[in-house]
Chain A
Amino acid sequence: MAMAGEKGRGRLLVIAVPYLWLLALFLVPFLIVLKISLSQDVIAQPPYSPVFDIAGGWAGFRDFLSQLSLANYGYVLSWDNEFIAAYGSSLVIAGVSTALLLLIGYPIAYAMARAPKGLQPMLLMLVILPFWTSFLIRVYAWIGILSPEGFLNQGLAALGLIDQPLEILNTDLAVYIGIVYSYLPFMVLPLYSALEKLDGTLLEAAEDLGCTPFKAFWTVTFPLSLPGVAAGALLCFIPAVGEFVIPDLLGGSDTLMIGKSLWTEFTVNRSWTASSAVAVLLLVLLVVPIVIYQNIQARQLEAGR
């Protein structure tokens, strides 16, 4: 079986190279995070203890295990610290933002899907284009708009609508605006691709059978676009929960988000073990949506085989 051998070797190589890469740089790091979250901070290099030493053998391993503790989780989950509140408020901010994104993104995607075929590639490109420009730049642009002397306040004052500048920058409202703005393409694209596939004759059939256009939308279009809704919602919700840049640049000092808390714990408090525990708990919180998202992705990308 010369062929099987030849084919087998090529196949093995194609699978093994990316597989081993992801194992070493995606999975193993998580195991390390898990391990460090069970360790204690020390002033040394590396700044945590115990350090696993392979030379110690079985006894060394037992010794290593006995030094692990849940102390960091106790610290993170203590009511005295703000982590629990940060987890909660991250979920709320991400959830509300996702709902807003859906409300804003759906009409845009729907209009794109109904636009003349010749116009659609251009509209699609207009949605994707901001994504190609730097995320940081797009967040930065809003500082100039929302600041007390920014464009929004200037405009509203010029129209005579306000006397005092509105305090928007450094509030939760600015965080919502920032998330909706930055994630809008991620919501519109899956919705558009679900709506674009929709067979127009289905709507004609529904109307032919006596449905009003409004009712036809809710009984035909919307249910059929649900996979797109799910993909878009998860694609926005999951990264938004761990968002750091937006709350840091647009939010205020009282804006609590777990990504920012983790960053602060790591860079300011310099506690690697506590930040690892924060990361593990965040992952536990997100594991269900991530698994659902993976399944949607896999089904979409592998259905064609």
Chain B
Amino acid sequence: MNRSLSWFNVTSLVLGFAFLYIPILLLVLYSFNASRLVTVWAGFSTQWYAALLENDQLLDALWVTLRVAFLSSLAATVLGTLAAIALTRYGRFFGRTMFSGMTYAPLVMPEVITGLSLLLLFVAVGMERGFWTITLAHITFTMCFVAVVVQSRLITFDRTLEEAALDLGCTPLKTFFVITLPLILPAVLSGFMLAFTLSMDDLVIASFTTGPGATTLPMRIYSQVRLGVTPEINAICTILIGIVAVVVLLASVLAKRQEKMRRRAEQIAARG
């Protein structure tokens, strides 16, 4: 579908994006406020960023969060990719319906249920709660997101490429690493990024499955927010948004460059 935009369409877009972005912009703006009051502008200042560096609790939480996110998204990428292959490639197998159910259900499962059930599991098996239980919990719910992302790439994957490799004498395992994986890598990487962000972002599941000594950044932010709104939180939020913005921008610039090269190549091919 591709037709001209009416004034109604343009208005929907402008209002929609204003709704999505104004709260974030205000948040960023007031992280540079000189006043302790979050809603009254009193001049530009970076004092809250300086204060962040003094806040050991917050920095500790950030470190825990990054470690959990890195480990869990790495494992989730492997498990999710395997699940995606099983679901797209292996046709029917015993218990397939249950498997696909377990893969898609966590996408919409209310977090309180996932969190509570995992906590009760860890208690039942007598596992000491903390860093590792959060990591296990995050692997479980983020691997399903990876599976969906990779699966949607795999269904459009041209399987004759794999058959061609087999035909030319390449073993199935080697074919996966030499042909399939390089070609689905963008999807696997965006699955990884998604898992990383979801893990960094999670408050509820981490709160259920954590133990003494392992406080993640969202948990720390949450407990501070409950005490009241402070510019310090605005500052840390701004940093997080900044990191995401830079990464996304970089990814899109790279994608655009690749697209441009592909277009040029097609033009060359058309002429040749």
Contact = CB atoms under 8 A, between A and B. Distances in A.
Task: Let me know if chains A and B touch directly in the complex, using CB atoms closer than 8 Å.
Answer: yes
Interface of A: 6-7, 10-11, 14-15, 17-19, 21-23, 25-30, 32-33, 36, 46, 104, 107-108, 110-117, 123, 125-127, 129-130, 132-138, 140-145, 147, 149-151, 154, 181, 184-185, 188, 195-200, 203, 221, 234-235, 238-239, 241-245, 249, 259, 262-263, 266, 272, 275-276, 279, 282-283, 286, 289-291, 293-294, 297-298, 301-305
A144 B33 CA distance: 13
A114 B99 contact: no
B123 interface: yes
B117 A114 contact: no
Nearest to B226: A249
B164 to A, nearest CB: 18
B2 A144 contact: no
Q: Which residue, A108, A283, A291, has most C-beta atoms of chain B within 10 A?
A: A108
Contacts of B3: 114, 200, 203
Given A111-B5, A276-B116, A297 B79 contact: no
B113 A302 contact: no
29 contacts: A10-B173, A11-B90, A14-B86, A19-B86, A19-B95, A21-B79, A26-B106, A28-B121, A33-B120, A46-B124, A111-B9, A115-B9, A126-B20, A129-B248, A132-B244, A136-B203, A137-B240, A138-B23, A140-B27, A140-B229, A145-B23, A150-B39, A200-B1, A243-B110, A249-B225, A266-B116, A272-B120, A276-B116, A305-B155
Interface string B111-150: 1110011101101100000000000110110010001100
Given A33-B116, A238-B109, A239-B111, 16 more contacts: A18-B80, A22-B140, A25-B139, A116-B2, A123-B13, A133-B244, A134-B201, A134-B240, A138-B24, A184-B16, A199-B1, A203-B1, A221-B1, A263-B112, A282-B113, A297-B148
Contact of A282 (B80, B110, B218): B110
B5 A115 contact: yes
Closest 5 CB pairs of A and B: A242-B110, A304-B155, A29-B117, A111-B9, A107-B12
Contacts of A199: 1
B258 interface: no
Interface in B186-230: 197, 200-201, 203-204, 208, 218, 221-222, 225-226, 229
A108 to B, nearest CB: 4
Which secondary structure dominates chain A's binding surface? helix
Contacts of B26: 141, 144-145, 151
Contacts of B116: 33, 262, 266, 275-276, 279
Contacts of B83: 18-19, 22
Interface string B255-267: 0000000000000
B104 interface: yes
Contacts of B200: 134
B19 interface: yes
Given A26-B102, A136-B221, A244-B112, A18 B82 contact: yes
A111 B10 contact: yes
A22 B38 contact: no
Nearest to B224: A140
Nearest to B156: A304
B140 A21 contact: yes
A262 B112 contact: yes
B237 A137 contact: yes
B182 to A, nearest CB: 18
Contact of A130 (B21, B100, B112, B120): B21
Nearest to B79: A18
Contacts, number: 269
B88 A305 contact: yes
Contacts of B139: 21, 25
Nearest to A196: B1
A101 to B, nearest CB: 12
Contacts of A279: 112-113, 116-117
A114 B19 contact: no
Given A200-B3, A238-B108, A290-B105, A283 B24 contact: no
B267 to A, nearest CB: 17
Contacts of B172: 6-7, 10
Q: Which residue, B24, B26, B110, B203, has most C-beta atoms of chain A within 10 A?
A: B110
Contacts of B237: 134, 137, 140-141
B13 A112 contact: yes
A196 to B, nearest CB: 6
A145 B245 CA distance: 22
B159 to A, nearest CB: 10
Contacts of A142: 23
Contacts of A294: 100-101, 104-105
Nearest to A195: B1
A102 to B, nearest CB: 13
B252 interface: yes
Nearest to A283: B113
